[in-house]
Amino acid sequence: MEFSVPISRFDPTKVSWGQPRSCPFKKTISFHYDDNQIKINSLNIVFDTLSVVHIDWDKNQLFLEECPNGQFLTKIDQFQNLITNHIKKQYKEWLEGSTLPESENIVPLQPWLKSQRITLYLSADPSSIPFFTENGSETISDKTLKPGDIIRAIVRLQGISLQLSESDTWTGKSRIQHYVIELYRVSE
């Protein structure tokens, strides 16, 4: 059984960093969560209700914004700022052995939350993501998930992905790597 942190209880300052892992064309630094006596090796977050703004089926991207009276995406913005600052301090250590770009070419973090909208990347096969509605389990498609729907998402934040070129040179770019565990359509 894996634990998930509700976004209402999520404290970005309680995220700790793993050791860099080399993968093809990137180095990944995993996230861990340490809340007093609870230590979680996988950082899973349960979002409050979000409104579907747009779905790009070609790129498998889901664009969401907070419902009225929502107040928790500001925590994601704080988290992004913490990550950006951490990358600026740690990138040379994390990328030891890789070629580094000129400092002016470093764009610390591709924003996950931009203009109060968060983008979730669905897997290469969105139909494989568990998706639940009032009718039970369904398959994600343009018929079952539409703009205007209200959803809840459980998302695993896998870590920071530092993008490398074929020649093992850091491109100066990074992003929060995440995986959608489950989606729940609360209403249409």
- pLDDT tens by residue, 52-105: 999 999 999 999 999 877 788 899 999 999 999 888 888 888 888 888 877 666
Q: What is the C-alpha radius of gyration for the chain, rounded to an integer number of angstroms? A: 17
* pLDDT more than 90, % of the chain: 55
What pLDDT score does 1 carry? 53
What pLDDT score does 101 carry? 74
What pLDDT score does 29 carry? 93
What pLDDT score does 168 carry? 86
What is the distance of C-alpha 75 from the center of its chain?
13
What pLDDT score does 188 carry? 55
What pLDDT score does 158 carry? 92
Cα gap 153→135, rounded to integer Å: 17
What pLDDT score does 105 carry? 62
What pLDDT score does 24 carry? 84
Cα gap 184→150, rounded to integer Å: 8
What pLDDT score does 104 carry? 61
Cα gap 92→100, rounded to integer Å: 8
The pLDDT averaged over each successive group of 10 residues in the chain (188 residues) is 84 92 89 85 92 95 88 90 89 84 72 90 92 93 94 95 88 91 87
- The CB-side HSE value for 52 (13 A sphere, CA atoms) comes to 22
Amino acid 183 reads L
What pLDDT score does 71 carry? 81
Q: Which residues pair with 156 in a beta bridge?
A: 44, 179
Alpha helices in the chain (DSSP H): 73-94
| CB of 177 closer than 8 Å to CB of 156 | no
What pLDDT score does 181 carry? 95
What pLDDT score does 173 carry? 87
Amino acid 118 reads I
User: In the 8-state DSSP scheme, what is residue 122?
Assistant: P
3-state helix vs strand vs coil in the chain, percent to 5: 15, 50, 35
